[in-house]
């Protein structure tokens, strides 16, 4: 049996960030930038008003006060997106909106709040310093500045700047496209009436959601019956559109374990036992002429989820080019006793009792217990070589709450 770490390393060997492609800006969030970006113009690109008010000459309003306002003639009106048609001469003002270019002749803006809001004449009730309420060209970004470097993970904050410097498309490492196939003749679509022996396919929905949370573009293929030809066809259909194929079910020792049978025949996927609970049967390999990576996950839903967490999430993050690939683990205190198989690493579903203490959740740690999985906020990791933990023991805990 392989250890969790050895199997993860095996799966990660040869996994690299996807080759950069050019994507429209609107599709770039969550992608890693693959080029350095320079500003082709300054930001702001022109002097503009930071307030709705009046563009004036500071000297004209030096004596303005609430009790003795200064009267100026309003000679123009500039909304954002327009330019004034005249300059501000002594004794005049131009009504101006936030973001509109500062008219020639003006050296400050008086906010509308300290005026009477007039449109032909305006009463100014306070003085304004030179430059007041003016956002200067280049005060944010100077033309030619490198505003972002290759390797940046693009979030909303980065997207804003990239748009501001006029980038409608960028070279990025794309999000991997992940095809999720569940297998099992007992599986039906949720919402279908269950006849005896049938169950709703939960794994494919769960894995698509988990893959999306890990940053992939994931999609679901309808469940495939336990038939070798049907499964081979379903996989073949995905080879030209997926960067990673995930399967669930059909990899244990059963007589109808199609996934194992088909991929064993192709000879490119290796099946092994990993010393973990849940999630022992695992498989990894590459298929098709483009060597698309395939990870086969066990069918029991909790096993499938834990396997995804341990192996698939790090693969997706590596393909995206983001760090860290593993979730944060921190030491916590157990509030109850726990048992674990001596030679395996156990990933028990847990919840936080207080900031740094945890307890298991759900009706037992069986690999079919979806109620407990849904309540879990964390995974309690009980290492190999430990079969009993007393209350008060310190354990490593993987926090799952960042997906919320
Ligand atoms: P298998 O690995 O195919 O032998 O499946 C192990 C167990 O997981 C069986 O009880 C299956 O019915 C169940 N199972 C397999 N696939 C799914 C699925 N997609 N959704 C829910 N349960 C599943
Ligand atoms: Mg099955």
111 CA from centroid of ligand 1 (Å): 67
Cβ of 30 less than 6 Å from ligand 1: no
* Closest by Cα among 266, 183, 195 to 223: 183
Please give the full DSSP string across 18-84, using - where no structure is assigned: PPPEEEEGGG-TTSEE-S-EE-SS-BSSS-EESSSEEEE-GGGGTT--SSSPEEEEEEEEE-TT---
Q: What CATH number does residue 183 fall under? A: 3.40.980.10
Q: What CATH number does residue 63 fall under? A: 2.170.190.11
Task: Look at residue 286 and give its three-state secondary structure.
Answer: strand
The number of folded domains in the chain is 4
- The answer to whether residue 404 scores a pLDDT higher than 80 is no
DSSP one-letter code for 141: B
What residues form DSSP beta bridges with 111?
53
- Domain residues for the domain of 225 are 4-18+175-320
Cβ of 301 less than 6 Å from ligand 1: yes
The tokens describing 198, both together, are 């049938």
Are residues 202 and 228 located together in one domain of the fold? Answer: yes
- pTM here is 0.93
Cβ of 248 less than 6 Å from ligand 1: yes
* Closest by Cα among 190, 147, 186 to 300: 186
Are residues 206 and 288 located together in one domain of the fold? Answer: yes
257 CA from centroid of ligand 1 (Å): 11
* Closest by Cα among 222, 226, 175 to 203: 222
Q: Are 63 and 70 in contact (CB under 8 A)?
A: yes
Q: Which of the listed residues 185, 192, 225, 299 should we mutate to test ligand 1's pocket, taking the one with most ligand atoms within 8 A of CB? A: 299
Predicted confidence at residue 403, as pLDDT, reads 78
Are residues 295 and 202 located together in one domain of the fold? Answer: yes
Q: Give the end of a domain, one of 147, 173, 199.
A: 173
Q: d(Cα 283, Cα 267) in Å, to the nearest integer?
A: 12
pLDDT band at 276 (very low <50, low <70, confident <90, very high): very high
Asked, for residue 294, whether it belongs to a domain, the answer is yes
Are residues 304 and 221 located together in one domain of the fold? Answer: yes
Q: CB-based burial of residue 101 (10 Å sphere; 0-12 exposed, 13-18 middle, 19+ buried)?
A: buried
Q: CB-based burial of residue 55 (10 Å sphere; 0-12 exposed, 13-18 middle, 19+ buried)?
A: buried
Cβ of 184 less than 6 Å from ligand 1: yes
Predicted confidence at residue 257, as pLDDT, reads 87
pLDDT tens sequence across 160-187: 999 999 999 999 999 999 999 999 999 9
Q: Give the end of a domain, one of 320, 353, 369.
A: 320
Are residues 125 and 156 located together in one domain of the fold? Answer: no
pLDDT band at 256 (very low <50, low <70, confident <90, very high): confident
């Amino acid at each position: 049996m392989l250890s969790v770490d050895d199997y993860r390393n095996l799966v990660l060997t040869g996994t690299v960030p996807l080759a950069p492609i050019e994507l429209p800006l609107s599709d770039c969030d969550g992608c890693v930038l693959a080029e350095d970006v320079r500003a082709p113009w300054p930001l702001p690109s022109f002097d503009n008003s930071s307030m709705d008010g009046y563009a004036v000459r500071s000297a004209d309003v030096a004596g303005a006060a609430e009790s003795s306002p200064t009267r100026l003639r309003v000679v123009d009106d500039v909304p954002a997106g327009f330019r004034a048609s005249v300059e501000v001469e002594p004794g005049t003002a131009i009504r101006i909106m936030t973001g509109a270019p500062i008219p020639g002749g003006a050296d400050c803006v008086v906010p509308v709040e300290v005026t009477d809001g007039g449109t032909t004449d305006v009463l100014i009730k306070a003085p304004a310093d030179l430059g007041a309420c003016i956002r200067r060209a280049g005060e944010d970004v100077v033309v030619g500045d490198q505003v972002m470097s290759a390797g940046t993970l693009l979030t909303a904050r980065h997207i804003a700047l990239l748009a501001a410097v006029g980038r409608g498309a960028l070279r990025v490492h794309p999000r991997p496209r992940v095809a999720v196939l569940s297998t099992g003749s007992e599986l039906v679509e949720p919402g279908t009436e269950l006849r005896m022996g049938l169950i709703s396919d939960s794994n494919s929905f769960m894995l698509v959601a988990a893959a999306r949370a890990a940053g992939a573009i994931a999609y679901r293929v309808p469940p495939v019956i336990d038939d070798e030809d049907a499964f081979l066809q379903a996989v073949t259909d995905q080879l030209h559109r997926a960067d990673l194929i995930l399967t669930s079910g059909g990899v244990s020792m059963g007589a109808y374990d199609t996934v194992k049978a088909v991929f064993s025949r192709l000879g490119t996927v290796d099946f092994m036992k990993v010393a973990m609970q849940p999630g022992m049967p695992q498989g990894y390999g590459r298929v098709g002429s483009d060597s698309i990576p395939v990870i086969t996950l066990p069918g029991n839903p909790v096993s499938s989820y834990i396997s995804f967490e341990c192996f698939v999430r790090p693969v997706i993050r590596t393909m995206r080019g983001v760090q860290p690939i593993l979730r944060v683990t921190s030491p916590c205190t157990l509030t109850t006793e726990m048992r674990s198989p001596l030679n395996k690493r156990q990933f028990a579903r847990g919840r936080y009792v207080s900031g740094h203490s945890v307890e298991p959740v759900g009706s037992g740690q069986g690999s079919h217990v979806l109620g407990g999985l849904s309540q879990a906020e964390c995974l309690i990791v009980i290492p190999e070589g430990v079969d009993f933990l007393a209350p008060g023991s310190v354990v490593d805990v993987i926090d799952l709450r960042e997906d919320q």
